[in-house]
Amino acid sequence: MGLLDGQRLVITGVLTDASLAYAVAELALAEGAEIILTGAGRGMSLTKRMARRLGDDLEVLAFDATDPADVTALTEALSSRWDRVDGALHAIGFAPAACLGESVMTAEWDDVATAVQISTFSLKSLAQAVAPLMTSGGSIVGLDFDAAVAWPEYNWMGVAKAGLESLTRYLARDLGPSGIRVNLIAAGPIRTMAASSIPGFNAFESAWNDRAPLGWDVADRTGVARAAVALLSTWFPQTTGSIIRVDGGYHAIGA
């Protein structure tokens, strides 16, 4: 038996085969899950291409987390295909270039608002779409980068991630009575399309490997995928509002 046998999952953020969401989708399928991917805008064609790579019959539904109409449409589309949803992966994030770089002081509100809406509020939008279909409880898992400290270059994306962590706790509080768990995985730096947009990302690579007691490989998505699949399964029935760190132990070691 697979860890996710019989589970029906919605997975966002599959843009390339190097993405964390792709690794989660691939492992979820191997563990017996039935999945539907979502895509939006110009990224839709990329998601459809990755869906074909994952399996011939995988469906991709439109979901722009910034559009309230898409939230309702996703609920309706899912309910027409499945009688329930068991889990969802939130792998949505974006910050305009002005929000990243040398100083947090350079970005204006319009850019910051974009970063917060897409990287933080989108978790609420996804939960709003899938929670009504989690009639037997369920699990929502988001991808995070530890926001407990200020990182070089990360700036407003770090602020958005801090909001994501706080929102996770509030969603866990509000959705818990319905048996819905909400957790985050704070991964160490992984070489993905999203990481390539962060100035100075390469500086993380050697520093992380030097400090993490378990070591770190920026090309290895296995640990994150396994943690996500475990949280999406029924093996953590009492875990919610938590941040699970998959970073080789980096967070626990002082500079």
Annotated catalytic residue: which of 22, 124, 154, 170?
154
CA 76 to CA 204: how far, in whole Å?
A: 42
Which of 142, 167, 248, 161 has the alpha carbon at shortest distance from 205? 248
d(CA 220, CA 213): 16
Catalytic residue among 22, 48, 124, 161: 161
**Residue 48 a catalytic site member:** no
Q: Which residues pair with 9 in a beta bridge?
A: 35, 87
* CB-based contacts of 241, cutoff 8 Å, min separation 6: 168, 169, 172, 173, 182, 183
Whether 22 is catalytic: no
Q: Note whether 73 and 125 are within 8 A (CB).
A: no
Task: Please identify every residue annotated as catalytic.
Answer: 154, 161
